Amino acid sequence: MKYINEAFDTNWVAPLGPNVNEFEKEIATYVGVKDAVAVSSGTAAIHLALSLLDVKEGDIVFCSSLTFVASANPILYQGAEPVFIDSEPETWNMSPLALERAFQVAKRENKLPKAVIVVHLYGQSARMDEIIAICNAYQVPIIEDAAESLGSSYKGKMSGSMGDFGIFSFNGNKIITTSGGGMLVSNHIVSLQKARFLATQAREPAPHYQHSEMGYNYRLSNVLAGIGRGQLEVLEERVKRKREIFNTYEKELGSVPGISFMPELEETYSNRWLTAIVLDAQITGFNRNELLRALDKENIEARPVWKPLHLQPLFRGYQFFAHSQEEVISEKLFKDGLCLPSGTNMNEEEQMRVINCVKNQIQIE
């Protein structure tokens, strides 16, 4: 409220203002990058990153398949063609094996991608060493979709800081929120200056309204940035609470035959934005959908793991590269995966309701 009241007291209600400037600095410092641009959504941040990389009609962009549609929609905005990359078992994120195979095919066809969008799913970092090495070998830039992973780290580096561009979301369901908002981060200061220009309708410095290229209305308001600044102050508490929630689920359900949890790769630290489990129906005696229905009967909301983008009707016909000939990891995770309630305001009694519902389902079966 302090930052919001400052915005109203100083009449900085419209987009831009002191809170926006400070929020950008605070995020850049936290993530460990040189600069950041506050925008209206994580989707807008991805769109700006693609624009900065000159992705245009006819170009190809590789993208993680196991993610929310917002990761790939901006590829379509640019008239480009998404190519979807499967997950791998240890992180549920982009498979380096599938990525390498996709690059080999693209090189043979003389059509390398303009960019690779790698997602850090549910707060867990992808295998960035392997992915960066592959992309560097083909000299293709990386956009880190860290929308779900603010506060996570990979081998001592903060999520969003390892690619050419990183993006965060502050949508209402994220670990911190501005109600709606996002951030584009990078060490490429000149590129981010261009991003600010594009995000303010590409208005040129002239006493009249002068525009030589297409821009967007993507800047974050000063009021919402004030919310973000206050939320950022409690980010570490939120991460701690998310991990406590995960640890309680794992303690209570981790020994149940047929239930496994999203792994945490060695030398990574996940914010555990959502606690995700996988059911082996042959062992548990019930499948993901049956558990969803049982939870719903108790007025407990749970969700399937993201439906892979290569299975979405919107992206029918686009190329997809599986983890291996034997396994399509993302499809298996979607078929058997479930996200349990993980809100930081959930108390111990509420979490035990969820846990007991799962245990009761096992006993019923």
What is the pLDDT averaged over residues 39-54?
A: 98
> What is the count of structural domains for the chain?
2
Please tell me the predicted confidence (pLDDT) of residue 332.
97
pLDDT of 128 > 60? The answer is yes
Are 157 and 241 in the same domain? no
Is residue 9 located within the same domain as residue 152?
yes
For residues 342 and 250, state if they share a domain.
yes
Domain boundary among 232, 257, 292: 232
The type of residue at 111 is K
Identify whether the C-beta of residue 256 lies closer than 8 Å to the C-beta of residue 111: no
When pLDDT is cut at 50, 70 and 90, the band that residue 363 belongs to is: low
Neighbour count for residue 266 (Cβ, 10 Å): 7
Q: Rounded to the nearest 5°, which phi and psi values hold at 284? A: -75, -30
What residues make up the domain containing 121?
2-232
pLDDT at position 207: 87
Residues 300 and 193 in one domain: no
Instruction: State which of 178, 211, 232 marks the end of a domain.
Output: 232
Q: For the segment 213-240, what is each residue's pLDDT rounded down to a tens digit?
A: 999 999 999 999 999 999 999 999 999 9
Contact 240, 115 (CB under 8 A): no
pLDDT higher than threshold 70 for residue 365: no
Note whether 311 and 193 are same-domain residues. Answer: no
If asked whether residues 252 and 186 sit together in one domain, one would say: no
**Token pair of 166, please?**
């990183």
Q: What is the DSSP secondary-structure string of 149-165? A: -TT-EETTEETTSSSSE
Average pLDDT over residues 235-255: 97
Residue 141's domain is classified under what CATH number? 3.40.640.10
CATH number of residue 351's parent domain: 3.90.1150.10
Q: 89 with 167, same domain?
A: yes
Assess whether 325 and 222 both reside in one domain: no
Contacts of 12 (CB under 8 A, 6+ apart): 6, 18, 19, 222, 223
- Same domain? For 192 and 261 the reply is no
What is the average per-residue pLDDT within 353-360?
A: 95
CA–CA gap between residue 256 and residue 11 (Å, rounded): 56
- Other Cβ atoms less than 10 A from the Cβ of 178: the count is 29
Residue at a domain's end among 232, 266, 287:
232
Q: Check residue 362 and give its pLDDT.
A: 79
Verify that 197 and 240 share a domain, yes or no.
no
